[in-house]
Amino acid sequence: MTSACPVASDPSAGPCGTWRIVAWEEADGATLLDGSLRLLDALADEPVPALRWYRASSPAVILGRGQAAASAGGGEQPLPVLTRHSGGGAVLLDRGLLSLDVALPTGHPLLDGDIGAVFERVGAAWADALGLLGVPGITVHRGPSTARRRGTDRDRLLAAVCYATLGRGEVLAGGRKLVGLAQRRRRHGALVQCGLLRRWRPGILLDALGADPTDADVARRAVGLDELLDPPPPDAAVMAAVELALARVGGGPWHSG
C-alpha cells in the first residue's frame, strides 16, 4: 500500500506534519455521524490529519458497527437508534458526551504497528491531557478487549454497552472508564473516534437496550469528568489539553479549516 505520508518516521515532514482542526459542531446524531464519514473520506483527496470536536444537540442511541439494531429502541421514551461506522458497544450520544474524531492518513506515525496500536497512542494522549487537568488515578488499558459477545447473557449485555467494558487504549480514572475509543479503517486512512464522558447516567441507554436501568454494576464501571473535579474544567480547556498532547505524540502544528 502506498503511503500518503512520505516520511512516516518524521512527523514534521510532508502532509503528516500539519493537522487541521475542523470547526466545533453541535447537531443531531445523524448529522454528526455523516460528518465523521466525510472526514474519513476526505483523506483520499487531502491526506492531512484532522481533529473534529462535537456534541449532540438531541439524544440518540448510537450502536457500534455490527451491533443488531433490533437490540435497541425500546424503553419508556424511545430515542432515535443509529449505527456509527466504527465498532464497539452502544453509547448514548447526548450532552453528557464530548466527542472527538481523529482522522489519520495512511502512513501517519500514529498508525505504525498493528491495527490496535493507534488506540494506545491516542489513549496515552488523552491520559496525559486529563492528568494535567488534575484528574486523579488516570490509567490506560493496554490489554485486550474485555467485551465477551458470545458469553453469558450478562457478558453480552456488558459487551453491548460501550462504557461497561474496556478496549485497548481506553482511559480510566480510579479504575472506571472515562474515555472510550473505536476506529474505522479504509485504504486511504483511519478514523479514531473518542468519547469523553462528562457525566455517566447509563439508565436511559440500558432502558433503550431492554435492560434494567438501575443496574448498579454498569453504573460503577464508568465515571464522568464532571464527577471527578470540582469545579469541572470547561470543554475548551479539555480540548486544548488534548490537542497539545496529541501534538506531542503525532506532530504539529495545527491550523483551522
Check which CATH number belongs to the domain holding 207 and give it.
3.30.930.10
Question: Is residue 8 a part of any domain in this protein?
Answer: no
Q: In angstroms, how far is the first alpha carbon of the chain from the final one?
A: 28
In a domain? residue 119: yes
Those residues with Cβ within 8 angstroms of residue 163's Cβ, 6 or more apart along the chain or in another chain: 89, 91, 177, 180, 197, 200, 202, 221, 222
Q: Is residue 68 part of a domain?
A: yes
Per-residue pLDDT tens over the stretch 193-243: 999 999 999 999 999 999 999 999 999 999 999 999 999 999 999 999 999
**pLDDT of 71:** 55
The answer to whether 204 touches 92, Cβ cutoff 8 Å, is yes
Q: pTM of the full predicted structure?
A: 0.90
Decide if 3 is inside a domain: no
Which pLDDT does position 2 carry in this prediction? 30
Confidence check: pLDDT of 254 > 60: no
Q: Which domain holds residue 224?
A: 14-251
Determine the longest span between alpha carbons in the chain, in angstroms. 54
Instruction: Give dist(CA 50, CA 112) in Å, integer.
Output: 17
Asked if the model's pLDDT at residue 54 lies above 50, the reply is: yes
Higher-pLDDT residue of 218, 65: 218
Number of domains in the chain: 1
Confidence of residue 72 (pLDDT cuts 50, 70, 90): low
pLDDT tens for each residue of 130-174: 999 999 999 999 999 999 888 899 999 999 999 999 999 999 999
| Residue 236 resides in a domain | yes
> Which residues on neighbouring strands pair with residue 99, listed in sequence order?
54, 195
Cβ(77)–Cβ(59) under 8 Å?
A: no
Segment 167-196 mean pLDDT:
97
Q: Provide the pLDDT for residue 18.
A: 80
Does residue 5 fall inside a structural domain?
A: no
Task: Flag whether 4 is in a domain.
Answer: no
8-state DSSP, 49? -
7 within some domain: no
Higher pLDDT, 156 or 18: 156
